[in-house]
Structure 1
Amino acid sequence: MTWDVMTIIGTIAFAVSGGIVAMEEDYDILGVYVLGLVTAFGGGAIRNLLIGVPVSSLWEQGYMFQLALLSITVIFLFPNGLLKHWKRWGNFFDAIGLAAFAIQGALYATEMGHPISAVVVAAVLTGSGGGIIRDVLAGRKPVVFRSEIYAVWAALAGLAIGFNVVTGTLGLYLLFILIVALRMASLFYKWRLPVKSIGQQEPQRHTLKA
């Protein structure tokens, strides 16, 4: 049941997130639906490829596609006045999708009997893969590659589940709340990962002395 709930939450959150980004970039209605769908299902497709699950298994989630399409339609019909709050609500939906899909991906890998490394990778890819595809298609720098902390929280969820630190339905829901809270806190307080920039230095100008 926890798996299903996390899948539903993540699908709605990422479908909405992708749809809003598409509208921010002035995509037409087809672009809104495409970006919403790839955001909702892209991470799961990448995860399946890496842990040995046929990608075609995604097509067995017919009701999830219907749920994603409904979510995108609702957000497309929202008044522009509400959509202007993207910076607040968009990041919140993205955090919900990250947490829900990270936990779902980790549970998926655990049930298949994969080692801890695969559990963490599954959590990270399921939680951030859709967002990466969304940002690339929207012509943006993917959030996961910026200095702000993003994929680390998905990895934390994978570690907690892989090492059985968190077990049971209540524990998983508390982990979900924690990951969402940490992601939003990292945005609010501007937590950053270390960055090393190798920029081109301007050539020194030599002046002739008289």
Structure 2
Amino acid sequence: MTWEILNIIGTIAFAASGALVALEEEFDFLGVIVLGLATAFGGGIIRNLLIGVPVDSIWEQDVLIMIAIGTILLIFLFPASWINYYWEKWGSFFDAIGLSAFAIQGALFAEQMGHPFIAAMVAAAMTGTGGGIIRDMLARRKPTVLQKEVYAVWAMMAGLLIGLGYPQKLPALMLLFVTIVFLRMLSLRYGWKLSYRKIH
């Protein structure tokens, strides 16, 4: 049940995020679908490659693929005024939800396969941010995770906690989920940044 809830939340959030970016960049109908699906499933595919899960296991997620396509179609059919209004206000929140849900799901995947906590951190980071990286690259944007902004750190924190034995009961995982979303939004609100150097 926990796994399914996190999968559904993350899939809807990232499919919507990808579709909205595609609309913002004026992609056509097919482009909106491709970008939405790439955002929703790209991180999971990267994670599977890293921790030894067959890549073709994605085709076992037919229900999630249909949920993602349904979400993308709804976004595509929304009036432009709604999209402009809600994306400006809620786009970052959708992204934070996807980041948190997929980071936790990825860490659980690695932990239940018996991998060490480092693998749980990497799986969390890749599942939580991989789709966003693919989305931004296809949309010719600088990937958020590779900039100064605090983003992947929250996914890695979730992976570290789960890798070190964080309780895997639904209430505890939901608390972690809400905490990661809150921290991500807090870092956006106050402009928290990782240290960086300028060489010019």
Q: TM-score range by the shorter chain?
A: over 0.9
Q: Distance in 1 between matches of 2:55 and 2:66?
A: 18
Q: What is the alpha-carbon distance in structure 2 between the residues aligned to residue 78 and residue 89 of structure 1?
A: 15
Q: 2:148 corresponds to which letter in structure 1?
A: S
Secondary structure class of the residue paired with 1:15: helix
* Number of residue pairs the alignment of both structures matches: 199
Q: Within 1, Cα distance between the matches of 2:64 and 2:169?
A: 24
After superposition, the C-alpha distances for 1:87-141 in whole angstroms (9 at most, x for unaligned) are 3211110000000000000000011000111010000000000000000000000
Query: Match of 1:52?
Result: 52
TM-score by length of 2: 0.98
- Once residues 38 and 83 of structure 1 are traced to their aligned partners in structure 2, the CA distance between those partners, rounded to angstroms, is 20
Question: Which residue is 1:195 aligned to?
Answer: 196
Structure-1 residue corresponding to 2:17? 17
Contact 1:166–1:175 (CA<8 Å) still a contact in 2? no
How far does residue 81 in structure 1 lie from its aligned partner after superposition?
1.3
Higher helix content, 1 or 2 = 2
Q: Retained in 2: the 8 A contact 1:11–1:97?
A: yes
* Residue correspondence of structure 1 range 146-161 to structure 2 within 5 A: 146-161=147-162
Matches within 5 A, 1:81-100: 81-85=81-85, 86-100=87-101
CA distance in 1, matches of 2:177, 2:51: 23
Query: TM-score normalised to the size of structure 1?
Result: 0.93
Aligned counterparts of 1:167 and 1:2: Cα–Cα separation in 2? 9
User: 1:72 is matched with which residue?
Assistant: 72
What RMSD, in angstroms, separates the aligned Cα atoms of the two structures?
0.8
Give a deviation string over 1:136-160, Cα, whole Å, max 9, x none. 0000000001111000000010011
Larger radius of gyration between Structure 1 and Structure 2 = 1
Q: Which moved more, 1:71-80 or 1:126-135?
A: 71-80
Kept after mapping to 2: 8 A contact 1:101/1:127: yes
What is the letter of the counterpart of residue 193 of structure 2? R
What secondary structure, in the 3-state scheme, does the structure 2 residue paired with 1:4 have? helix
1:160 and 1:166 in contact (8 A); partners too: no
Structure 1 equivalent of residue 106 of structure 2:
105
Q: 1:37 — aligned with what?
A: 37
Structure 2: gaps spanning 5 or more residues: none
Give the secondary-structure state (helix, strand or coil) at the position aligned to 2:142.
Answer: coil
Q: Tell me the alpha carbon deviations over residues 8-49 of structure 1, each in whole angstroms, 9 at most, x when there is no partner.
A: 000000000000000000000100000000000000000000
Give the AA of the match of 1:136.
Answer: M
For 1:84 and 1:188, the matched residues in 2 are separated by 20
Which residue in 2 is equivalent to 1:137?
138
Cross-structure match for 1:186: 187
| Aligned residue type for 1:142 | P
Counterpart-to-counterpart distance in 2, 1:81 and 1:95: 23
